[in-house]
């Protein structure tokens, strides 16, 4: 069975997410920072009246924070946790992968901290790490930031 994945780059590494989870791809726009947030949350943006948390995927992948430029991209995704954005360096392409092409993640990286890697796929000269969006971020973080009537939402909508 073939599935399609949106692939993107972060710090020279290739990653992919199920294309059915992607709502849209946007150029970088400045976020509203939030105090005392964890898990790589950069802040929130107002997307057509909806407050969307933006996660810096570099931080979630245990790398240095992204210094965003106009060349960076935000992938808006929808998972069980809710709707949120992923700040990435660039979007590469859409690839179709057969289940037979997927390799398991080695036990050396499949610990609780990296349990969001679901499979690896060798494509030409590169290795693509596939991410499970339902395990990538904590549902309670997204739910709190997406909560209707939250202080964050009110401040953002008032500023728009």
Is 146 within 8 Å of 82 (Cβ atoms)?
A: yes
For residues 77 and 94, give the distance between their C-alpha atoms in angstroms, rounded to a whole number: 15
Is 7 within 8 Å of 13 (Cβ atoms)?
A: no
Instruction: Give the pLDDT band of residue 21 (cuts 50, 70, 90).
Output: very high
For residues 68 and 59, give the distance between their C-alpha atoms in angstroms, rounded to a whole number: 13
Which two structure tokens, joined as six digits, stand for 67?
Answer: 């210094």
- Spell out the domains of the chain, with CATH numbers in brackets: 2-159 (2.40.50.180)
Distance of CA 120 to the CA centre of its chain: 17
Averaged over 18-22, what is the pLDDT? 96
pTM passes above 0.85: no
Instruction: Give the pLDDT band of residue 160 (cuts 50, 70, 90).
Output: very low
Instruction: Tell me the average pLDDT of the chain.
Output: 83
The DSSP string of 103-159 is: EPPPTTT-SGGGTTEEEEEEETTEEEEEE-HHHHS-HHHHHHHH-TT-HHHHHHHHH
Is 92 within 8 Å of 103 (Cβ atoms)?
A: no
């Amino acid at each position: 069975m073939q599935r399609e994945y949106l692939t993107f780059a972060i710090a020279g590494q290739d990653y992919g997410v199920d294309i059915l989870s992607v709502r849209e791809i946007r150029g970088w726009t400045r976020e509203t920072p939030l105090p005392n947030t964890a898990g790589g949350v950069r802040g929130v943006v107002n997307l057509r009246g909806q407050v969307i948390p933006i996660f810096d995927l570099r931080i979630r992948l245990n790398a240095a924070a992204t210094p965003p430029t106009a060349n960076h991209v935000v992938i808006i995704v929808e998972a069980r946790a809710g709707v949120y954005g992923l700040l990435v360096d660039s979007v590469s392409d859409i690839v179709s992968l057969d289940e037979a092409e997927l390799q398991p993640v080695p036990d050396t990286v499949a610990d609780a901290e990296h349990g969001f890697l679901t499979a690896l796929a060798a494509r030409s000269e590169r290795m693509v790490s596939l991410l499970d969006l339902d395990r990538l971020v904590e549902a309670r973080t997204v739910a709190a930031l997406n909560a209707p009537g939250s202080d964050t939402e009110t401040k953002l909508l008032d500023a728009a």
